[in-house]
Amino acid sequence: MTYTNRPGDSYVTDPPVVNQTLVEYHDRVRWGPIISGLVVALATQLILSALGAAIGSTFLAGSGAPRSNAPGVGTSLGIWSVISLLIALFIGSWVAARACGPINRNTALLNGAILWATTLALSSWLLASGVSGAFGIAASNAGEVLNQVQQGGVNVPDNAPRVSADQARALADNAARGLWSFTIGSLLGLAASLAGASAGNQSPREHRVR
């Protein structure tokens, strides 16, 4: 806006428009939002696991042949535990990205990956400590398989003459399936964390200051 306010036609104009870009954080790892997302992920996993267990128990309680239906319910609960873990990691990473404020997309993905790694490390520590309920049936089974593999690795040399070739192949096959399931599930969890972080990312935007 231009106007005159005294003799001599003196003009007063608005200051020039300046483009200003939000500056990225100096430290790209934001532990506050990561811990917040981790707590939300654990709470979500607890709720979804309890929901799946409640539905499975209700089905068995109302079925005419609970012993016959138990294997099918156990398989369904295992699948549901994996799905619930992916949902929990997605929501936790989304919360972590939103709590960070405006950040670069690569920084959001980095924080999502760290949240996934923190969750995996924490779950492994709790499983080693005997606390497995918070992470569902899939994590418990993975820990049990790992324990069996470790114990088998120690005991096999002493008991080798007592194990037949077929039994050894069966043990190796079961261990391989468990380890492959654990690996694939972990990678899917990483993908879910990255997707949640990308969805919740608030990219820095340019704004005009007058």
Q: What angle do CA 106, 109, 113 make, to 5 degrees?
A: 140
Question: What's the pLDDT score for residue 156?
Answer: 45
Distances from the Cα of 88 to the Cαs of 37, 135, 183, 193, in angstroms?
Answer: 9, 10, 18, 9
What distance in Å separates the CA atoms of residue 50 and residue 155, rounded to the nearest whole number? 36
Q: Residue 193: its pLDDT value, please?
A: 94
The pLDDT profile of the chain, 210 residues, written as one tens digit per residue, is 544 555 555 545 555 544 545 455 466 788 999 999 999 999 998 899 889 888 888 887 777 766 777 777 778 888 888 899 999 999 999 999 999 878 888 889 999 999 999 998 888 787 777 655 444 444 444 444 445 444 544 444 454 456 677 788 888 888 888 888 888 888 999 999 999 999 998 776 554 445
Cβ-based neighbour number of residue 88 at 10 Å: 27
Q: Give the pTM.
A: 0.68
* Residues 33 and 97 sit within 8 Å (Cβ to Cβ): yes
Strand partners, 11: 4
Instruction: Compute the distance between CA of residue 200 and CA of residue 98 in angstroms, rounded to an integer.
Output: 5
What residues contact 167, with CB distance under 8 A and at least 6 apart?
Answer: none
Maximum separation of any 2 CA atoms in the chain, in Å = 112
Q: Contact, 112 vs 192, CB < 8 A?
A: no
| Vertex 133 angle, CA 93 and 179, to 5° | 75
pLDDT of residue 196: 94
